[in-house]
Amino acid sequence: MAAPIPLNAPIPLPLPVFKSNEYYTDSQWQTLFALLDAIIPSIVVDTEVTDKNNQLSITEAQCREAYERTKRNLKHAPSYDKFKEYLRVRPVDNPNFVEETKRVIGNISKGNKKELGVVLSVLNTRLGSLVATGSLLPLQEQSLEVKETILQSWNQARLNFWPMLGESFFKMAKSTFLQTDPLFHEISGFKHHTEDYKPGSGFEYEFMQFPAGSETERVTADVVIVGSGCGGAVCAKVLTEAGHDVVVVDKGYYFPPSQLPMTPQSASEYLYEGKGGMQSVDRSVGMLAGSCWGGGGTVNWSASLQLQGFVRQEWADRGLGFFTSQEFQDGMDRICEFMGVTDTGRPNHGNKVILDGARKLGWHAKACPQNTGGAEHYCGSCHAGCGSAEKRGPSVSWLPAAAQAGARFIEGFNVSKVLFDESTGSGKAVGIVGEWTSRDEDGRVNMSDSEGVFRRTVEVRAKRVIVAGGTLNSPLLLTRSGLKNPHIGKNLYLHPAAGIHATFDEDIKGWEGGILTSVCTSFENLDGKGHGVKLEASVMAPHILLYEHPWESALQWKLDALRYRQMANYISLVRDRDTGRVYADPDDGRPVVAYTPSAFDRAHLLTGLVAIAKLCYIQGATEIWSRIPGVPSFVRRRPVVSSVGVGVSVGVNEEGKGIAGPGEGVGEGHADTDDDDIAQGINDPDFVAWLRLLEKTGLGSPRATFGCAHQMGTCRMSARPGDGVVDPRGRVWEADGLYVADASVFPSASGVNPMITNMAIADYIARGVSRGLRRVELKL
Ligand SMILES: Cc1cc2nc3c(=O)[nH]c(=O)nc-3n(C[C@H](O)[C@H](O)[C@H](O)COP(=O)(O)OP(=O)(O)OC[C@H]3O[C@@H](n4cnc5c(N)ncnc54)[C@H](O)[C@@H]3O)c2cc1C
Ligand SMILES: *[C@@H]1O[C@H](CO)[C@@H](O)[C@H](O)[C@H]1NC(C)=O
Ligand SMILES: *[C@@H]1O[C@H](CO)[C@@H](O)[C@H](O)[C@H]1NC(C)=O
Ligand SMILES: *[C@@H]1O[C@H](CO)[C@@H](O)[C@H](O)[C@H]1NC(C)=O
Ligand SMILES: *[C@@H]1O[C@H](CO)[C@@H](O)[C@H](O)[C@H]1NC(C)=O
């Protein structure tokens, strides 16, 4: 137990040892790494080239010029030597980069693995190479210069196939580089935990243990809850404190504050569903959902917003009167009070842009309450777990309270089925069954079949079963258990989000401070029916922000990445009207999401992007990236109004990059020196022209991609049996004794970040379950 505690840093978690070369042949791997190498190559001044085949050369003058530009753009520029060292870095020579790439690919679905394998093989044939590159020479034998040109030509291709193919390689290279390159971290100053890191004291969990053996292990309880996330944890506390015998199980594991926040690789490995790499079938939406002890509550950003009136009314109009009742409001208030939800957070630069910018534009923005027990909690790493334990998520507040009242917990328990009473065939749920995987002898979770790790089949028999596995998993569990209701898995809402990021003329260090502490609500009702967007600040970790940063050339991307320290990241998050569905992958049972944001919802997202660009502009952004394919960045030429209101003159556009080029009229302003722009505000003609291009291009392209951390609705609550999966008390229409109590029961998208709504519904459902159990006890 007495592991040495690193000074001022979370205890690192070992990753599973990677068993290499299982999926692809050597030549397939070579082709892949040849591509990644061309995306982020080593870039060296021509007189200093040491390895002609593996270094992209530039002239001394080019290098100097790039450095001068970097110095102008950055308050904390590296020395010239450091700068050259950074350009020289060759990621594919870094064993961590290689291993991480292989690990990521190892965890994509079987189907996707096969697809990628085919592409890699084809690129390695003469004919395939001819089609993809216009040359008979297999891709990996081309020079770096030629490979770069090929990647650029994919970007420009008319057929969407090529840019989309390119995009998946770009993202892989960028994300892995940003996670594994020590020099990038050193120069930018980025740390995945706060400077003054000190772990909070965690709750001493005692999880149930089972000895090795081949027979089914049996446990009995009044209530078994599947999932320790936001819904499950609230149910656990309510039911245990009401005196019932409760068992909570989760397929994920518990990690104490001393191990949080995790490095990006460990966070993907241990905290997220699908190792953090889930995408919709058409790859339009990337998804994050928590899968660990505490579920989404362990990785969420603490934004604690109550459901708005118009959504409550919409749900009440579907016959669900609870949502306009005092009881619902009391529930949300109880939840917020227990978690210490307050808006004392000191906004960081990114969040201040929303608050101050909205004021200047006459829009409405407000501080976003946080569940941090009143603490200021100036920490930007919560997406990788909260080390201070200030964020009062399920593992810090709800589950310990349940434990103190006597709840029992099982981690590492993957539930495969709900069990029904076979004897009567009554459709009454009587428990669950699944597979439990032990930790290893030393309590580690980097799984393998050796080192004392073993699996047991465990059955938990209970009078009531509450499924709270989250929107992606709960419907799959119901289907696996034999339920037939056609609504199961349908009605999937995602709150898809489109992003904008921008640089400012200040030393921001945007990864510090609460991630999401303000929200602009002026565009939330764009159709008169409550569909529209919220504008929020987003997570700043470089591998999440910059992997979306457009790649136009190797040098441009590497240089832009250096400006990370002065960037801010925003999302336009839509309350989606149109839905998708989730079903099981036939190969391995994992959730597959079929969802394509509709034209209707994309139009709203675009309105949000335009609004965010205006917020950034008015607060002095020096360059703005919309990430819309085909729209160059906006580069400001005029004097910048700094946030303290003094005109500062900067010339950020000498590089002539990031603009549409001559003749397109974007960013083609005149380098005035007067203060026009202060008077013009967002009427700056350059900016207006760029916004017009943004709107004209729009988000219609299949290449446009979106993010999502809010999955809802796949077991929707309905007033009548034919309209949904659960009744107004959360009971599954098709079966007795079986309840769903997570975000999947939302009748439609919540519009606000869903946690508080989810918890208040879970609280209500749990109270109903408790009353039902009491009635049974009274009868006995
Ligand atoms: C990165 C991120 C940031 C977010 N930020 C915010 C925010 O700031 N504000 C907000 O309101 N919301 C936020 N959310 C959303 C919020 O966290 C979720 O809406 C909420 O957690 C959903 O709760 P749930 O009860 O539906 O399921 P979850 O919290 O997802 O919990 C489900 C649990 O069930 C377990 N499970 C699933 N299947 C099985 C099985 N077969 N056997 C055993 N266990 C199983 C999973 O491991 C998981 O732990 C964020 C989400 C993410 C991912
Ligand atoms: C787990 O991590 C430990 C410590 O780094 C390592 O020795 C061990 O081999 C790992 N186990 C597996 C199965 O990857
Ligand atoms: C993820 O990668 C690990 C390590 O290579 C592997 O053991 C595991 O089976 C992979 N998981 C999936 C779902 O492919
Ligand atoms: C994060 O999740 C925890 C646990 O579910 C919850 O207590 C907290 O309110 C959440 N914060 C928000 C709303 O993001
Ligand atoms: C969990 O169980 C389900 C159903 O038995 C299975 O499809 C899935 O692959 C399992 N997941 C893990 C991570 O073992």
Task: Output the CA angle 66-69-72, nearest 5 degrees.
Answer: 155
In the prediction, which pLDDT does 655 show? 42
Amino acid (one-letter) located at 507? D
Span from the CA of 675 to the centroid of ligand 5 (angstroms) = 62
Q: Is 295 left (phi over 0), alpha (psi -120 to 50) or beta?
A: left
Among the residues of 189-308, which ranges form H helices? 230-241, 264-271, 296-299
* E strands, 472-609, in order: 497-503, 518-520, 533-537, 567-574, 581-584, 591-594
Q: Of all atoms in ligand 1, which is nearest to the CA of residue 292? A: 49
Span from the CA of 269 to the centroid of ligand 1 (angstroms) = 16
Q: What is the DSSP letter of 460?
A: E
Q: Is 339 in the pocket of ligand 4 (CB under 6 A)?
A: yes
Helix (H, G, I), strand (E, B) or coil at 372: coil
* Nearest CA, atom 9, ligand 2: 17
Span from the CA of 491 to the centroid of ligand 5 (angstroms) = 23
The strand pair at 246-249 and 591-594 is best described as unpaired
Span from the CA of 294 to the centroid of ligand 4 (angstroms) = 9
Report whether 542 contacts 501 (CB < 8 A). no
DSSP string, 500-528: EEEE-SS---TTSS-SS-EEE-TTS-SSS
pLDDT tens sequence across 337-382: 888 777 666 788 888 899 999 999 999 998 877 655 555 555 455 4
Q: Which residues contact 680 (CB under 8 A, 6 or more apart)?
A: none
* Nearest CA, atom 4, ligand 1: 300
Report whether 538 contacts 383 (CB < 8 A). no
In the prediction, which pLDDT does 194 show? 66
536, β-bridge pairs? 519, 571
pLDDT tens sequence across 507-527: 888 788 777 778 899 999 999
- How far is residue 544's CA from residue 730's CA, in Å, rounded to a whole number? 36
Q: What are phi and psi of 169, to 5 degrees?
A: -75, -40
- The pTM of this model reads 0.87
Q: Is 710 in the pocket of ligand 1 (CB under 6 A)?
A: yes
- How far is residue 22's CA from residue 25's CA, in Å, rounded to a whole number? 8
- How far is residue 190's CA from residue 192's CA, in Å, rounded to a whole number? 7
Span from the CA of 295 to the centroid of ligand 1 (angstroms) = 5
Q: Is 344 in the pocket of ligand 3 (CB under 6 A)?
A: no
Q: Of all atoms in ligand 3, which is nearest to the CA of residue 16? A: 4
Q: Is 14 in the pocket of ligand 2 (CB under 6 A)?
A: yes
Task: Output the CA angle 653-627-133, nearest 5 degrees.
Answer: 95
* Nearest CA, atom 50, ligand 1: 300
Nearest by Cα to 608 from 528, 681, 536, 511: 536
In the prediction, which pLDDT does 300 show? 56
Q: What are phi and psi of 185, to 5 degrees?
A: -65, -40
Span from the CA of 321 to the centroid of ligand 2 (angstroms) = 53
Span from the CA of 471 to the centroid of ligand 1 (angstroms) = 8
In the prediction, which pLDDT does 670 show? 42
Q: Which residues contact 295 (CB under 8 A, 6 or more apart)?
A: 227, 228, 229, 230, 232, 233, 250, 252, 394, 470
* Nearest CA, atom 11, ligand 5: 414
Q: Which residues are catalytic?
A: 710
Span from the CA of 407 to the centroid of ligand 4 (angstroms) = 20
Report whether 91 contacts 178 (CB < 8 A). no
Dihedral sign computed on CA atoms, order 741, 742, 745, 748? positive
- How far is residue 193's CA from residue 200's CA, in Å, rounded to a whole number? 13
Helix (H, G, I), strand (E, B) or coil at 90: coil
Q: Of all atoms in ligand 1, which is nearest to the CA of residue 476? A: 41
Q: Of all atoms in ligand 5, which is nearest to the CA of residue 589? A: 7
The residue whose two tokens read 């009242």 is 405
Q: Is 365 in the pocket of ligand 1 (CB under 6 A)?
A: no
Residues with CB under 6 A from ligand 5: 414, 416, 480, 588-589
Q: Is 11 in the pocket of ligand 2 (CB under 6 A)?
A: no
Q: Is 516 in the pocket of ligand 1 (CB under 6 A)?
A: yes
* Nearest CA, atom 2, ligand 2: 14
* Nearest CA, atom 6, ligand 2: 14
Collect the ranges in the chain with pLDDT lower than 70.
1-10, 17-22, 193-196, 297-303, 343-345, 370-395, 424-426, 446-451, 638-679, 780
Q: Which residues contact 424 (CB under 8 A, 6 or more apart)?
A: none
- How far is residue 284's CA from residue 288's CA, in Å, rounded to a whole number? 14
* Nearest CA, atom 46, ligand 1: 291
Report whether 343 contacts 317 (CB < 8 A). no
The rounded radius of gyration (Å) of the Cα atoms in the chain is: 27
Angle between helical axes of 349-361 and 599-618 (0-180°, round to 10): 90
Nearest by Cα to 418 from 487, 486, 480, 488: 480
Amino acid (one-letter) located at 99? E
Question: Ligand 4 pocket test: which of 332, 377, 392 has the largest number of ligand atoms within 8 Å of its C-beta?
Answer: 392
Domain boundaries, the chain: 26-188, 497-708
Question: Ligand 1 pocket test: which of 207, 225, 230 has the largest number of ligand atoms within 8 Å of its C-beta?
Answer: 230
Among the residues of 74-188, which ranges form H helices? 80-88, 95-106, 110-123, 126-133, 144-156, 161-180, 182-188
